[in-house]
Amino acid sequence: MARPQRSENKPATSKASGKNRGAPTAVGAWGERETGILKVAEDLFARNGYENTSMAAVAAAAGLSEGTLYNYFRNKTDLVIRASLAALERSVEAAEQAVKDARSLREGLERLIALHLSAVIEDDEKYRIWLREVRGVKSFRRSAGRDALARFANQFPALLDRFGHKEKPGALTLAMMRDMVFGGSEHIGFTAMIQKRADAIDVDATAKVLADVYLRGFGLE
């Protein structure tokens, strides 16, 4: 008796197809993939921490091979720096919006301080890497990171200008006031981070206290 022949219409199965079942689709269209990877990486860093997130984990979550990931980022430090820069750009946009939306100088200043303080304490691992790998190198003065930080900090002079406060002869310059405002909030956040008490900081309450001190100290109210 002749052996029955396999149906040509039967769907073929393979180890490869089984292996790929359920794998995430690669993030981003061609030309936009880097942005998708950064979003995935930021989420993983926030949930698991920088040290506990490998390049392999980022690649898997992004639906890519680890080798492909290295086509976009040299190493994990490069990835976290660029993720931090993307987050900083969002902070710049939020600061610009805070200035536009402010109904008073005090309200705008409280919002700017809160944004800056949050950026320092909410992800201490990325902040430490940022200090070491970006701000601590000679090329920082010509970097995209410095440009973004300058645009963020210069929202304070923009806020003063919006409410009619100009620089006065013999008084603190706008640049000095700006540096005191953001230098103070950064110092508070960094000290709390080093002392492992950042979780205890009430960002909004701290921003209100600092804004009050600066407004009275600068003679702006």
pLDDT, one tens digit per residue, over 154-175 is 999 999 999 999 998 988 999 9
pLDDT at 30 over 80: no
Shared-domain flag, residues 119 and 175: yes
Among candidate residues 73, 104, 135, the one where a domain is terminated: 73
- Residue 62 · residue 40 · CB < 8 Å: yes
Shared-domain flag, residues 95 and 69: no
- Spatial distance between the Cα atoms of 143 and 57, rounded to a whole number of angstroms: 29
- Spatial distance between the Cα atoms of 135 and 130, rounded to a whole number of angstroms: 6
Shared-domain flag, residues 113 and 137: yes
- Residue 113 · residue 183 · CB < 8 Å: no
Higher-pLDDT residue of 126 and 73 is 73
CATH of the domain at 166: 1.10.357
**pLDDT band with cut points at 50, 70 and 90 for residue 132:** confident
117-128 mean pLDDT: 81
Question: Which residues are CB-contacts of 106 (< 8 A; sequence separation ≥ 6)?
Answer: 211, 212, 215, 221
Residue 33 belongs to some domain of the structure: yes
- Residue 109 · residue 30 · CB < 8 Å: no
Give the model's pLDDT for residue 20: 46
Residue 80 belongs to some domain of the structure: no
26-42 mean pLDDT: 83
Residue 213 belongs to some domain of the structure: yes
pLDDT at 133 over 80: no
Shared-domain flag, residues 29 and 105: no
73-98 mean pLDDT: 91
Shared-domain flag, residues 215 and 190: yes
Q: How many residues does the chain have?
A: 221
Shared-domain flag, residues 54 and 32: yes
Domain that holds residue 32: 25-73
CATH of the domain at 59: 1.10.10.60
pTM recorded for the entire structure: 0.78
**pLDDT band with cut points at 50, 70 and 90 for residue 18:** very low
Helices marked H in the chain:
15-20, 33-48, 55-61, 66-69, 76-101, 105-121, 124-130, 144-153, 155-162, 174-194, 203-217
Shared-domain flag, residues 100 and 171: yes
Residue 10 belongs to some domain of the structure: no
In 3D space, the residue among 131, 9, 151, 30 whose CA is nearest the CA of residue 91 turns out to be 151
Among candidate residues 73, 107, 134, the one where a domain is terminated: 73
pLDDT at 62 over 80: yes
Strongest mean pLDDT among 6-10, 40-44, 92-96, 188-192: 92-96
Shared-domain flag, residues 42 and 133: no
Shared-domain flag, residues 104 and 182: yes
Residue 19 belongs to some domain of the structure: no
Residue 5 belongs to some domain of the structure: no
48-77 mean pLDDT: 92
pLDDT at 2 over 60: no
pLDDT at 82 over 80: yes
Shared-domain flag, residues 130 and 50: no
Give the model's pLDDT for residue 22: 53
Shared-domain flag, residues 93 and 117: yes
Shared-domain flag, residues 102 and 172: yes
Give the model's pLDDT for residue 28: 66
Q: What is the mean pLDDT of the chain?
A: 85
- Spatial distance between the Cα atoms of 191 and 29, rounded to a whole number of angstroms: 42
What radius of gyration do the chain's Cα atoms show? 24
Give the model's pLDDT for residue 29: 63
Q: How far is CA 109 from CA 102, 134, 152, 187, in A?
A: 9, 27, 13, 17
205-210 mean pLDDT: 97
Residue 159 belongs to some domain of the structure: yes
Residue that is written with structure tokens 């995430």 in the block: 24
200-207 mean pLDDT: 95
Residue 191 belongs to some domain of the structure: yes
pLDDT at 200 over 80: yes
- Count of structural domains, the chain: 2
72-95 mean pLDDT: 90
